């Protein structure tokens, strides 16, 4: 059975609680401009994989097992808008540490799944879908600790409305305590 998968940084770690609350507050303030993304679905996508079978899933996990990088901090910037999917998002400042994590994960997508790069990577947190662009971008400068990354499945929500993201596997970056999982 194929599952719709993606690698991501989840924002629910305890170290990010205050920053996550700021992001949620911003999302709710802007809610009149579109449909808010559920709080539990807030994340930073590292690579979208699409439909993946069990054999490919195992190969993706084995490749991710080899990623050995230190934990790091990233910073949010300002809102932006993707026109075609009508997504209002919060940007992430350029970060060499984030780039060092994204590079091997994007390579997994290419080598294990044979997918080519269709566009350049733009780190962001989706806030609203079916959104309208804002007249002026909104700044939200907050820090996020990146201690883990995970492989997630996008599945229909049990409520029948929207999707939920299920963490299938999680990898600690060095310096992250196993107790913080």
What is the four-CA torsion angle of 67, 73, 77, 79, rounded to 10 degrees?
50
DSSP state of 148: E
Whether residue 43 lies in the annotated active site: yes
Question: First-to-last CA distance in the chain?
Answer: 28
62 vs 25: CA distance, rounded Å: 37
69 vs 121: CA distance, rounded Å: 19
Nearest to 90 by CA among 131, 40, 128, 38: 128
Catalytic residue of the set 28, 33, 43, 75: 43
Whether residue 33 lies in the annotated active site: no
Instruction: Judge whether 134 and 30 are in contact, CB under 8 Å.
Output: yes
Nearest to 46 by CA among 60, 36, 56: 60
Catalytic residue of the set 28, 33, 75, 124: 124
- Helices of type H across the chain: 17-29, 54-65, 96-113
- Known catalytic residues are 43, 124
């Amino acid at each position: 059975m194929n599952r719709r998968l993606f690698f991501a940084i989840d924002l629910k770690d305890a170290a990010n609680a205050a920053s996550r609350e700021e992001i949620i507050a911003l999302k709710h303030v802007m809610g009149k401009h579109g449909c808010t993304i559920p709080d539990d679905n807030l994340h930073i996508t590292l690579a979208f994989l699409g439909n993946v079978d069990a054999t490919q899933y195992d190969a993706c996990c084995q490749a991710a097992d080899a990623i050995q990088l230190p934990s790091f901090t990233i910073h949010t910037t300002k809102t932006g808008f993707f026109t075609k999917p009508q997504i209002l998002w919060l940007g992430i400042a350029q970060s060499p540490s984030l780039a060092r994590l994204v590079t091997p994960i994007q390579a997994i997508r290419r080598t294990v799944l044979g997918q080519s790069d269709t566009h350049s990577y733009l780190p962001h947190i989706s806030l609203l879908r079916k959104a309208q662009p804002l007249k002026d971008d909104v700044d939200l400068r907050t820090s996020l600790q990146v201690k883990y990354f995970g492989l997630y499945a996008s599945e229909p929500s049990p409520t029948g409305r929207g999707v939920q993201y299920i963490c299938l596997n999680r990898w600690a970056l060095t310096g992250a305590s196993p107790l913080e999982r």
